[in-house]
Chain A
Amino acid sequence: MRVTLHVWRQPGPALAGVFVRYDMTDVSPDMSFLEMLDVLNQHLLARKDDPIAFDHDCREGICGACGMVINGRPHGPQRATTTCQLHMRSFPDGTELWIEPWRARAFPVIKDLVVDRGAFDRIIQAGGFITARTGSAPEANSLLVPKRDADLAMDAAACIGCGACVAACPNASAMLFVAAKVSHLGLLPQGQPERDTRVVGMVARMDAEGFGACSNHGECMTACPKEISIDFIAQLNRDYWTTRLAPKPRAKEFTGAA
């Protein structure tokens, strides 16, 4: 196949970027999208040009490292498919592709198609966990979890943290990512003790990182390679506002000497 690419090239975070055109004539329909870029990079290296930098690792659609905007769509045109699992047979011969990094203030570009998604890690650090010290866990079957809850929690937990939801959102909101974790843990009995502090902590961190607000476009769900539902955003809002508007009574802080 022949393919014309326009790839965003940006040498560094503070430097200007530009689309550069590459014409490829040796693309096989059996190649994955990233293999096509590998081949291009081999050509670039052969003529001692700088290869295109892009994040990738497992190439099985699960690690969440890869991701680029292809013709305006995060992870490209195929439903429920990460960039690494997209194959060139999805495109017609002679196709023209515009390839860009995730664009969001909270995901600064490091180089070419590589962005810094550290903000996602910091949101998890702000409460996206259940406190369970190693060794302190009760017998696993002492806790019953209805199958429907476990299944729904798993739907939310399937998030791979790639950031496509942010890239797809006109407001660059991270609501789907945060909602997935809040729902995953909030649906399980183990997650109840920290349910309030978790949602408040994560949302505060999300705002501080510079992600935009959610205005219900639904683009995130369409772009999500794991098809995580925006119903979870509703769940997040419910948890958040319940906690903010009707906070549970708290014990007074103990300040006396022991």
Chain B
Amino acid sequence: MELRSHVPGGPLEAKWERHRSEIKLVNPANKLKHHIIVVGSGLAGAAAAASLAELGYRVSCFCFQDSARRAHSIAAQGGINAAKNYQNDGDSVFRLFYDTIKGGDFRAREANVYRLAEVSASIIDQCTAQGVPFAREYGGLLANRSFGGVQVSRTFYARGQTGQQLLLGAYQALSRQIGSGTVQMNPRAEMLDLVVIDGRARGIIVRDLVTGAVSAHAGDAVVLATGGYSNVYYLSTNAKGCNVTAIWRAHKRGATFANPCFTQIHPTCIPQTGPHQSKLTLMSESLRNDGRIWVPKKKGDTRPPHQIPEEERDYFLERLYPSYGNLAPRDIASRRAKEVCDEGRGVGPGGGGHGVYLDFRDAIARLGRRAIVERYGNLFEMYQRITGEDPFQVPMRIYPAPHYTMGGLWVDYNLMTTIDGLYAIGEANFSDHGANRLGASALMQGLADGYFILPYTIGDYLAQAKPVKVDAEHPAFREVQKDVAERVRRLLAASGGKTVDAFHRELGRVMWDKCGMSRNGAGLKEAIGRIGALRDEFWNDVYVGGKGEELNQSLEHAGRVADFFEFAELMCHDALHREESCGCHFREEYQTPEGEAKRDDERFGYVAAWEFTGVGKEPLLHKEPLAFEAVHLAQRSYK
């Protein structure tokens, strides 16, 4: 298999413009003859489905939630970046491009990232026209805020609910199309497999989550906008339903999976309280602007925080990174927090726990309580609701948690996977964030893919490939449908003694310990062995319960966990093979004497795209070399 990125020629800043002018168009009258399947209704999926229908295509959209409005994009708090330069502070398309590629530790494709920066401004225009209530200045113009690790103010926001408002904008655009009959919306419907005919994606197999009916849907192209896979760790900031199933199924049918080990662990989450914990809650990164992070100098110190005198506190980020201090990038802040906790200096009930203090004492003294309420009131309230502690009295406790996955299906410049006619957009693809994503960039990428990139590139494919008519009666559909039904039957037939949830937790623990914030060769090898063993145990000893022909949440979970078991192994293989540290991928063997990530551009300056060879079998590696023409590769330094 050859990975062809199809990056257009010419200078970086002219590539997209040129490509748009050169791609083939579908005649308006012919668009109606093409049926496009979109899986997922988050920012990328809803934006794509609505935009494609506006162009005149027939679209079917599927989501597992009860409504298209609930996809997990809704939970994004902080904001969305765009190179508008409204603040006159020197922002530009090139600067946004450079920040993103450097933030990703030089493991993303230049041309894609440049295009992302280029279309960012149109996203703000589009969302404003839809009625997204972005924050405003008193004069009525749009307001901006600063965000993690960059020196310009380019983040647009709607209070702490930017993701919600952007998603509702896309959902409403989608609703308009559903109302006018151009999009057929299928909520509570989960994609369980992909159908490939003559090397082209031609449809999907779906389970109706209410009736349990398994059905086949044929189309001329399939778009996967199914989000990330942080829930492989069990505990993450993702919604409970987020899963890898759609992209994993596509992978098993021939789509290569790129950089699966690039997973982002967010530093500011509320720590776990007990074994019952079902998910973790993110606290906005903006808290690090005024909060100071510390742990006691002494191991196992059980004194309450206010009894620990100043000289016995270790403000470790300020100590290690004097110039960035508490605002060091996400990957570094997370790793250092884990380090001090592993030393036994973590805080929390009983001491030696998994948490560090995020202390507002000094900020309250300096700025006054009122200023803090204005800046962080809703976050303080949320923290208190969840923990029962008042951050005005006791410092917050935070700990890193899995949050976003940079890896995903490999796509070319047109966002097409290695299967013709199969596209992956938003978090489901690997393309723009390299080994580490910057804050406020996920919303930008999802909407860029959905509104402004895919609607062009998919037309190019349809115009050139001219897919022949296929309907769901085709034997290939029957066959895959049979596979799906058999899998459901097998899950229900296993009548062991352990619940799906118990297996998921166990898998999560292995992944967190061995393939989490820092990894090493021995640990990864051990993990691969344990995952295989656990997977066998799962299929023999799981108890799902209920029937296939009804609303069965345990069965839904079982299917997703079964796929996580297969996927987890790939993640470990990827982490094991990448013998360097870059961005969020920290291999303990490859670090500088100061404990920073040591990149190896010579050996690993490529995208690792894996081909599926069988469950439990070693996957096959393909490399897409990364060539950097516009940027100079530098060591990230935040000292």
Which A residues form the contact surface with B (CB < 8 A)? 12, 28-32, 34-36, 38-39, 42, 45-46, 48, 50-51, 53, 55-65, 78, 81, 85, 87, 89, 110-111, 114, 116-118, 120-121, 124-141, 143-147, 150-151, 153-154, 157-158, 160-161, 184-185, 188, 190-191
Contact = CB atoms under 8 A, between A and B. Distances in A.
Residue among B126, B168, B455 with max Cβ neighbours from chain A (10 Å): B168
A118 B187 contact: yes
A50 B545 contact: yes
Interface string B393-414: 0000000000000000000000
Nearest to B76: A62
B179 A130 contact: no
A127 B65 CA distance: 22
Given A48-B543, A127-B179, A160-B164, 17 more contacts: A28-B274, A29-B388, A31-B276, A51-B545, A51-B554, A65-B65, A111-B551, A118-B187, A124-B172, A124-B175, A125-B178, A128-B172, A134-B455, A138-B125, A154-B159, A157-B168, A190-B128
B274 A30 contact: yes
Contacts of A62: 74-75, 161, 164
A63 B70 contact: yes
A67 to B, nearest CB: 11
Contacts of A117: 66-67
B385 A81 contact: yes
B614 interface: no
Interface stretch (B99-107, B136-144, B254-262): B136-144
A137 B54 CA distance: 14
Given A35-B276, A58-B72, A150-B136, A132 B551 contact: no
A31 B135 CA distance: 35
Contacts of B137: 147
Nearest to B237: A60
Contacts of A136: 129
Contact of B276 (A39, A55, A110): A39
B126 A146 contact: no
Contacts of A39: 276
Contact of A185 (B47, B131, B158): B131
Contact of B54 (A12, A45, A133, A140): A133
A70 to B, nearest CB: 16
Contact of A137 (B125, B159, B168, B501): B125
Nearest to A31: B276
12 contacts: A57-B239, A59-B279, A62-B161, A64-B69, A128-B172, A132-B130, A138-B125, A140-B84, A146-B140, A150-B133, A150-B134, A154-B158
B550 A125 contact: no
Given A38-B501, A129-B176, A45 B278 contact: no
A121 B68 contact: yes
Interface in B430-465: 451-452, 455
Chain B interface extent, by class: 35 or more
B171 interface: yes
B553 A53 contact: yes
A119 to B, nearest CB: 10
A184 B131 contact: yes
Interface of B: 47, 50-51, 54, 65-70, 72, 74-75, 84, 86, 122, 124-126, 128-131, 133-142, 158-159, 161, 164-165, 168, 171-173, 175-176, 178-179, 185, 187, 210, 239-241, 273-274, 276-279, 281-282, 382, 385-386, 388, 451-452, 455, 497, 499, 501-502, 543, 545-546, 550-551, 553-554
B278 A32 contact: yes
Contact of A63 (B72, B142, B273, B278): B72
A124 B75 contact: no
A129 B130 contact: yes
B175 A121 contact: yes
A227 to B, nearest CB: 12
A229 B138 CA distance: 24
A58 B124 CA distance: 26
B386 A51 contact: no
Given A117-B67, A125-B179, A161-B69, A130 B554 contact: no
B75 A63 contact: yes
B66 A55 contact: yes
B178 A35 contact: no
A242 B273 CA distance: 54
Contact of B67 (A89, A121, A147): A121
A140 B125 contact: yes
A118 B131 contact: no
B452 to A, nearest CB: 7
Nearest to A65: B70
Contacts of A30: 273-274, 276, 388
Nearest to B497: A46
B159 A121 contact: no
Q: Across chains A and B, which 6 residue pairs bring their CB atoms closest together, nearest first? A: A144-B140, A125-B179, A137-B129, A129-B172, A132-B129, A30-B273
Contacts of B50: 134
A124 B173 CA distance: 10
A65 B209 CA distance: 15
Nearest to A49: B545
